Amino acid sequence: MVNPGMSLEPRGETINLLTQFKTVLEYKWQIVGVAIIAIAVTALAVFSITPIYRATNSIAIEYRQNNVLGVADVYETGAGANSYYATQLAVLRSRDMAEKAVTRIEWERYPDFLKSAPSIFETIKSRITDEFPELAPIFGADKSAVVELTGVALLQARINAFVAATQVEPVINTQVVKVHFLAKNPVLAMESANALAEAYIESGFEAQFEAARRATEWLNERLSGVKGRLAESESALQEFREQQNILNIGSGKSVLEAELTDNMQRLRDAERAKNQLQNTYAQIRQAGDLPYLLQQISVLVEDELVRSTKQGFLVAEQEVSQLTPRYGPKHPAMIKAQARLMEAREAFQQQLRRAAQGIRSKYQIAEKNVRSLSEAVEKTRQQIRALDRQDYSMQVLAREADANSQLYDTILKRFKEADLSGDFQTLKARVIDPAILPARPHLPNKRRALMFAAFFGALGGIGLALVRNHLDASIKTGDDLEQISGKPVFASVPEAGRRLLGGSVAKMVEDKPRSAFSEGIRTIRTGVLLSDLDKNKRRILVTSALPQEGKSSVATNLALAFAQMEKVLLVDCDLRKPNLAKYMGLKGSPVGISDMLRGDVDRKNLAVHQVAPNVDLLPVGKHLPSPGQVLTSDRFRQLLDEVSEGYDRVIIDSAPCNPVSDTLLLASHVDGVVFVVRYDSTNIKVVQTVLKKIAKSQTPVLGMVLNRVDHKRAMQSGDSYYYGDGYYS
């Protein structure tokens, strides 16, 4: 039972690794075979290779900065010690250094240096042509012949070969470099390694001498040029000051910056005043000179003069409204009141227009102030920018003049101090461990090659085993069979032998009741009984997908197992290749199904033969020309019903399902099917396809049997349906 708090993922990984390990164990001999082949091929290769010797020379290289000119701050690249050692390693590997070393070696002592070792094919070809000269034209011309080189071509060939044979190895966290040279001649390997180290140290002397000489020449040539550039830069700086009439850029810029600050403050005030009047000005423009629209503008109505004239207008209007009920329009008092009303209205409207005109004037003045102050601010900014440009140009010229002055002073000082003997410094490199004569070959390392061959051969064998297992679609455990079929698995029956003609497999339950095979058959019997608790499955059909899966041996032994508790009829319905009569020990050609169908035998007891206690066999008899028509006929159904009477169990052996359709026709006459699958042979898809066909006949598959199981592999795979060596073993 799975613990709910337990993570299932690690368990899955463990099972997967265990499965892979079991696969490796299953194919262990194939893996060993691949490893042996790899070792054999590697041994053939390494023992046919010409041995190569390696001589090693150790050089100590101390880091120092090359400061011949004394101007490291100007020309130093900042590479540092790492870059220095990388450069020295590149020098040791260079063709120039190889050429210097090649000229030190007496090549007449080593005539075979440029000759390449013959390949395995060329060696075999040479031996064949030596033994059989008449076969020489078949192999063609000898391509291993050395082309004679002279002069420059010979020198270049030696340099190329020397570079290819040289290995430069820095010792980590030290200042030591190891120089290796590989050659077929151990003396040449030693001499070449030492020659390269000597050439490198001498090249350091030559490089330092040449650097000092070139530095002195450069100082002499550049001094006059630097002096001229210094005079030109100082003259250009003075000319620029005079042309621009520059006295002190800093003070003039300060005045302009103060003026800019003041104008910007005034501009902000003017913009604020303009923004305050802008909304009222827009309303006045929209109202025009219409008094009734001007009265709706709050700013105008709040004006002191407008309020006073409006008050007079309201008073006159009230006086008219009071006189109207008492006097007519032509009454002198009414006429005077109307005249005062007209005069007050005119005064009020006139004052509204004057107030509106005042707002217009204020807005226009504010707008003009904003425009004039903006122009003043922009003009001041341009003046400041002009001063900045002048200041920048003057600083550039001043920096150039200062740089030229410093460079001139430095070079002049070094030129006065320069001394060829004083600047000349030797390269700080020395040989600390010269190469000695190698005692044994460096290549090939036979022991390491064979170890690698064994390791990678085994690794390749494991890979092939895993790939083969992944591509293998056969069934290897009862658990796999149950998973792909969806049916219960009765048992995984071990391999019992191949002597079918002797009857040892067909009667294993009777001959060897304590064997693991017999226990597996009895487990099948138990599975059938448990699936038939109602005891209505009397006719059991035993079949398989393909031939040679052991269904007949399962059928005969299952009949013998049931015979220990029931009376059993064993029927051979493999009408194409009947074998049960021979397996069960019947001699000659006993009568059976065919004789009863043709009417040659009219009694059941003549066609049924007793082959064991409580076990009778109904063989096929003579060959039937059309098995398909026989199995679908009503006469065959009546015959099967007739012979089944009086028996507790009928075990029917049929033909394989996949090659022919006899079993599918026969399935309609039985109560259940026991399906036999051969271990590590039957394909998963074949089993699934056949089970789908059987399902169409509406006959239930009672259970599956994994037959002819390999004992050791089943134990390794942990097949839960496998019963081991047997209870009695």
Taking the domains of the chain in order of start, what are their residue ranges? 264-390, 472-717
Token pair of 281, please? 């000005």
Which of these, 624, 616, 628, lies nearest to 666 by C-alpha position? Answer: 628
Which of these, 502, 501, 508, 545, lies nearest to 524 by C-alpha position? Answer: 508
pLDDT over threshold 60, residue 29: yes
236-273, pLDDT tens digit by residue? 766 665 565 554 555 566 777 777 787 788 778 777 77
Reported as a pLDDT band with limits 50, 70 and 90, residue 75 is: very low
Which of these, 663, 473, 644, lies nearest to 567 by C-alpha position? Answer: 644
Q: Residue 146 and residue 150: Cα distance in Å, rounded? A: 13
Kindly report the backbone phi and psi dihedral angles of residue 76, in degrees, each rounded to the nearest multiple of 5, phi listed first.
Answer: -65, 130
Helix or strand (DSSP H, E) at 494: strand 489-494
134-163, pLDDT tens digit by residue? 555 655 545 444 456 777 888 898 899 899
Q: Residue 126 and residue 117: Cα distance in Å, rounded? A: 13
**pLDDT value of position 332:** 80
Residue 171 per-residue DSSP state: P
pLDDT over threshold 80, residue 518: yes
Token pair of 260, please? 């800019």
Strand 672-678 to 701-709 pairing: parallel
Q: Is the dihedral of CA 499, 503, 506, 512 positive or negative?
A: negative
Write down the residue that tokens 């259940």 correspond to.
Answer: 672
**pLDDT value of position 714:** 62
**Average pLDDT estimate for 508-512:** 88
**pLDDT value of position 572:** 92
**pLDDT value of position 78:** 44
**Average pLDDT estimate for 455-463:** 87
**pLDDT value of position 306:** 65
- Contact indicator for 263, 373 with CB cutoff of 8 Å: yes
Q: Residue 500 and residue 591: Cα distance in Å, rounded? A: 22
CATH 3.40.50.300 assigned to 472-717: yes
Q: Residue 263 and residue 379: Cα distance in Å, rounded? A: 11
Reported as a pLDDT band with limits 50, 70 and 90, residue 204 is: confident
- Contact indicator for 532, 560 with CB cutoff of 8 Å: no
pLDDT over threshold 50, residue 503: no
Which of these, 575, 547, 545, 542, lies nearest to 651 by C-alpha position? Answer: 542
**pLDDT value of position 652:** 94
383-421, pLDDT tens digit by residue? 777 776 766 677 777 767 777 677 767 766 766 665 544
Angle between helices 249-287 and 332-417 (to 10 degrees): 160
Residue 315 per-residue DSSP state: H
Reported as a pLDDT band with limits 50, 70 and 90, residue 592 is: confident
CA distances from 679 to 36, 518, 667, 719 (A): 29, 17, 24, 12
Reported as a pLDDT band with limits 50, 70 and 90, residue 480 is: confident
- Mean pLDDT, the chain, rounded, equals 77
Position 102, amino acid: V
**DSSP per-residue string spanning 372-384:** HHHHHHHHHHHHH
Contacts of 49 by beta carbon, 8 Å cutoff, 6+ apart: 117, 443, 444
